[in-house]
Amino acid sequence: MPELPELEVVREVLKRRVVGQTVTAVEVVPPGGLIVVRDLTREGFEAGLTGATLTDVARRGKFLILTFDPTLYLVINPKLTGRLQLATPSERQRANTCVRLTLSGGEELRYVDQKTMGQLYLTREPADRAPIPDFAGLGPDALAVSRDEFRARLKPFRGEIKGVLIRGDFVAGIGNAYADEILWTARIHPYRKRTSLTSDELDRLYDAVRSTLLDATAKVRAQMGEAIHREPRDFMNVHLKTGQPCPRCGAPISMVGANQRITNFCRVCQPGGLIKGM
C-alpha cells in the first residue's frame, strides 16, 4: 500500500512533470475502471476531465489531490494496490490499468490497480467538503504534527499502539508497513497498549515517526526516480523481513498475522508482548 513516503515522491514528480498540461482525452478502461471511478459531479467522468488543465498536485495523508482548471478535483485513494504511471501512448498498457489520461505534453497518466480496491473521485468541491469516505476525518499530516499535539492526539486512544498509528483520524499518512518501521526505530512492541507507554517512550515514538518517514521519503525518491508506479521498499528494516536478522541485534525478525494484516518486529529490540508468531 502506498503510504506517505511513496505518495509524497509521486506528488513531487507529477508537480514537476505534468502541472500546466491539459487533458486531451480520457479513457475509463473496463472492467477495473468501472469499479474504481466515482463521478461525484454526475456530469460524466470523461467529459468533465477532457479539456481541463492540471494546476496543482497535493497530498493529504494517503490521498493524492489533482486540481484542474476549470474548477475540478480528482481525489485518488490508491488503497492496497493502486499506482499511478507516466507512460508514452505507445508504451504497452500494464495489466489492470483502469484509467488513462492523455496529456497535452504527449504522455499519459495512467491509474493501475491490481485488486481494484482504490477509488478515483471526481468532484467540483474541494476534497474536504466532498462526500469522500475517510477524508474529512483525517488528522494532521504525520510530518506536520508537533510533539505536544502528537501527545494530545494520542490520549483518547487506549488500544495497541500499532493500531493507533495507522488510524487516519490520529495522524494521516502512516500505514501498516511504516508503522512496523516506526515502532522498530522507537524500540516499542507493536502490541503494547498506548496507556502503558512512558513519557520517554512517547518522545521516542514521536522522534521515530519523523525520522522514519523523512528517511524513507529520501530513499524512495532516490530509488523510484521518475518511475512513479514502482514501490521500492528493500531498504526497510523489519517489514516483510520475517526470519531475517534484525539489523540492530541480529535476532530473527518475528511475524504476526492478525486482522488480515502482517506485523513484523524484533522480539529482542522491542520487548513487552506475549504474542505467538514466527
- Which residues are catalytically annotated? 2-3, 62, 261
Asked whether 49 and 25 are in contact (CB, 8 A), the reply is: no
In angstroms, the CA 229 to CA 231 distance is 7
CB-count burial class (<10 Å; 0-12, 13-18, 19+) for 7: buried
With H, G, I as helix, E, B as strand and everything else as coil, classify residue 263.
strand
* Grid coordinates of 264: 513484523
Nearest in space to 259 (alpha carbons), one of 153, 159, 171:
159
Give the span between the Cα atoms of 23 and 254, in whole angstroms: 47
**Hey, is 32 helix, strand or coil?**
helix
Q: How far apart are CA 253 and CA 231, in angstroms?
A: 22
Amino acid occupying residue 10 = V
Q: How far apart are CA 56 and CA 43, in angstroms?
A: 22
User: Residue 57 is placed in which grid cell?
Assistant: 498536485
